[in-house]
Amino acid sequence: MKHILMVDDSTTNLKSAAEVLQPYYQLSMAKSGKQALQFLKKSIPDLILLDLMMPEMNGYSVMEQIKLNPLTAGIPIIFLTADSEQASERKGLQMGAMDFITKPFKAEAVLGRIEKVLQMEDMRKNLLGEAKEDLRQGQISGEVEGKQNYTDEEVWEAVHKIDHTMLKAYATWEDIKKLCKEAMEYKTASVCVPPSYIARIRETYGDQLKICTVIGFPLGYATAAVKVFETEDAVKNGADEIDMVINIGDVKNSRYDLVEREISAVRAACQGKILKVIVETCYLTEEEKIRLCQIVTKAGADYIKTSTGFGTAGAKEEDIILFKDNIGKDVKIKAAGGIRTKEALMAFAELGCDRIGASATADFIK
């Protein structure tokens, strides 16, 4: 069901619109421009019905603020007005409004205009998606498929980007010791291990290797307070790097404010250690991936990471290209999940991943 935000200072108008729209759409309401802008920090609707004449902040001013924010600039807007002057309509259309609805409302006209605008927006998104996919496929073909033979130097350079990983539920201390010895031999970026082994690794190997661990792993639905505690405990025990899983439910509920708040809280708990944010791309739409790139950047994380390796799919080349287009300049990329061959390792390294999560490191250098 499409989500509409209606902004109008009249309670009567809001009630009238609710009777017409709620059988067909999810409807949220705001009684002022300021309320609407606050709402948009938490949720992104499919369409905004915006009253033109409101006290304190009129519709033009609200629309201007919406269009200045890259996260909300693309939301289609229909103005609601009792003003039938052509000058008002012309100004609104020049600012980017999709249509005007004149009050008092007529149910059939309102529903028809809303349906038309939403159909146009769906067509626009589909065309844009097809164009982006064509571009990505061209990039992938040019950047990845063009080269299959790699020098030893190129392979070793990629190996040094690996977080050498052992996160199986039944991992024993013997498994962890083998992992650490391989990491030191191959000079991988770190070992990525369960939190319960951090202190023992630090005690056994000192500063001979970097220790990465996972927080909220693998499903991400622990509370923010629990993730903060896990992070503080991991750092106290000797972790150098933290890979946290976001709450996918918050993403699906469009509670991006909670996602950002959680990442920021874990960032603070890291006490300067490296933070990588696992977004689990296999469960996300393209719009959600783009929004998370922006949130990970804003929250101050060091890396955005594709996957836990426990979801329905792992790292994909097209997601790396999408990340590169949407993360901030100080955010790096970690690919993880399903990277089991030398060819896959090199593909992600060539796409620009600064870290790669893998457990088959020994196989890459044979």
Show the domain range for 171. 149-364
Residue 201 forms part of a structural domain: yes
pLDDT per residue as tens digits for the range 302-332: 999 999 999 999 999 999 999 999 999 999 9
Q: Which CATH number fits the domain that encloses residue 345?
A: 3.20.20.70
H helix intervals, the chain: 11-21, 33-40, 59-68, 86-95, 107-140, 152-159, 173-186, 198-205, 224-237, 248-252, 256-269, 286-299, 317-326, 342-350, 361-364
pLDDT per residue as tens digits for the range 156-204: 999 999 999 999 999 999 999 999 999 999 999 999 999 999 999 999 9
Measured CA to CA in angstroms, residue 179 lies from 159, 207, 251, 358 at distances of 14, 15, 34, 11
Residues 249, 196 share a domain: yes
> Whole-prediction pTM value?
0.66
pLDDT at 120 over 90: no
Residue 343 forms part of a structural domain: yes
Residues 96, 222 share a domain: no
pLDDT at 266 over 70: yes
281: which 2 tokens?
């791309």
Q: Are 194 and 213 in contact (CB under 8 A)?
A: yes
Q: What is the pLDDT of residue 364?
A: 92
Q: What is the pLDDT of residue 73?
A: 84
Residue that is last in its domain, among 121, 139, 172: 121
Q: What mean pLDDT comes out for the span 279-304?
A: 96
Q: What is the pLDDT of residue 289?
A: 95
Residues 204, 60 share a domain: no
Q: What is the pLDDT of residue 144?
A: 45
Residues 261, 179 share a domain: yes
Q: What is the pLDDT of residue 67?
A: 86
Q: What is the pLDDT of residue 124?
A: 79
pLDDT at 86 over 80: no
pLDDT per residue as tens digits for the range 267-287: 999 999 999 999 999 999 999
The helix/strand/coil state of 345 is helix
pLDDT per residue as tens digits for the range 246-258: 999 999 999 999 9
Q: What mean pLDDT comes out for the span 31-40?
A: 94
Q: Which CATH number fits the domain that encloses residue 30?
A: 3.40.50.2300
Q: Is the peptide bond before 218 cis (omega within 30 degrees of 0)?
A: yes
Could you write out the DSSP letters of every residue in 9-61? Answer: S-HHHHHHHHHHHTTTSEEEEESSHHHHHHHHTT---SEEEEES--SSS-HHH
pLDDT per residue as tens digits for the range 90-115: 787 778 888 888 887 788 888 998 99
Q: What is the pLDDT of residue 311?
A: 92
pLDDT at 146 over 70: no
Residues 176, 73 share a domain: no
Q: Can you tell me the distance from the alpha carbon of 196 to that of 173, in angstroms, rounded to the nearest whole number?
A: 10
Could you write out the DSSP letters of every residue in 292-310? Answer: HHHHHHHHT-SEEE---SS
Q: Are 353 and 321 in contact (CB under 8 A)?
A: no
Q: What is the pLDDT of residue 248?
A: 96
| pLDDT level of residue 82 (50, 70, 90 thresholds) | confident
Nearest to 184 by CA among 167, 221, 159, 166: 159
Q: What is the pLDDT of residue 143?
A: 45
Residues 194, 86 share a domain: no
Q: What is the pLDDT of residue 138?
A: 56
pLDDT at 133 over 60: no
Q: Which residues are catalytic?
A: 243, 305, 334
Residue 35 forms part of a structural domain: yes
Q: What is the pLDDT of residue 237?
A: 98
pLDDT per residue as tens digits for the range 345-359: 999 999 999 999 999
Residues 96, 172 share a domain: no
| pLDDT level of residue 129 (50, 70, 90 thresholds) | low
Angle at 279 between CA 277 and CA 285, to 5 degrees: 150
pLDDT at 139 over 70: no
Residue 130 forms part of a structural domain: no
Q: Can you tell me the distance from the alpha carbon of 362 to that of 366, in angstroms, rounded to the nearest whole number?
A: 7
Q: Is the peptide bond before 76 cis (omega within 30 degrees of 0)?
A: no
pLDDT at 141 over 50: no
How many structural domains comprise the chain? 2
Residue that is last in its domain, among 121, 137, 170: 121
Per the model's pLDDT, the better-predicted residue between 84 and 32 turns out to be: 32
pLDDT per residue as tens digits for the range 36-65: 999 998 888 999 999 988 988 999 999 999
Residues 117, 167 share a domain: no
Residue 144 forms part of a structural domain: no
pLDDT at 142 over 60: no
Between the ranges 20-29, 43-52, 260-269, where is the mean pLDDT highest?
260-269
Per the model's pLDDT, the better-predicted residue between 68 and 211 turns out to be: 211
- For residue 193, the one-letter residue type is V
Give the single-character DSSP code of 105.
Answer: P
Q: What is the pLDDT of residue 106?
A: 82
